Amino acid sequence: MSYMSPFRLFWIFVKVSTFTIGGGYAMIPVIKEFIVDKYKIMQNDEFLDVIVTAQTVPGVIAINTAMILGSRLSGFWGAFFAVLGASLTPFIIILVIASFFTDFVDLPVFKGFFAGARVGVTVILANLSFQLLRRSLKRYMILAVITAGTIAIVLLNLSSIWVLLVCSMLIYFIDKRRPQ
């Protein structure tokens, strides 16, 4: 993991929050595109750890992700500017839409736009869910191997050396298959 300036984080989150439709979960693949793929600041596993952590903390996933990424990549000011970048544009857009929404809600153009956006967001969320599920299943498999090894040693009174050897090999192969 490397350092990223707070202002670059701010602009990344401004871009992401400006051009992503569908809420915080729809923003995650776009944030990943910048942080992992384009700037190569984090590995995919580190990024997924940030997302898992952001999901466990109460609050909006986009703000939680911005805060955790900002904090990890450039401390307090990184967190501050990332959260500001993630929230500024949506705040302004919602303010503008709220003032004019009732005038345009029934126009066919807007109905079509929102129907198309709903399909796109569904695909993005399905892809993200699949990525997180694959990673979680690997962790549960590793936990199952550790549990089975502990039971084999404690309850079945098997040789701890052989059990540890077998468990280590299983965990190695499970972890080796983990998608990057």
Put simply, whether the predicted model's pTM sits higher than 0.85 gets the answer no
* Residue 172 binned pLDDT confidence (cut-offs 50, 70, 90): confident
> Residue range 35-39: average pLDDT?
94
Here the contacts of 120-125 (C-beta below 8 Å, separation 24 or greater) are 120/21, 120/22, 121/21, 121/22, 121/23, 121/26, 124/22, 124/25, 124/26, 124/29, 125/22, 125/25, 125/26
The larger pLDDT score, comparing residue 152 to residue 13, is at 13
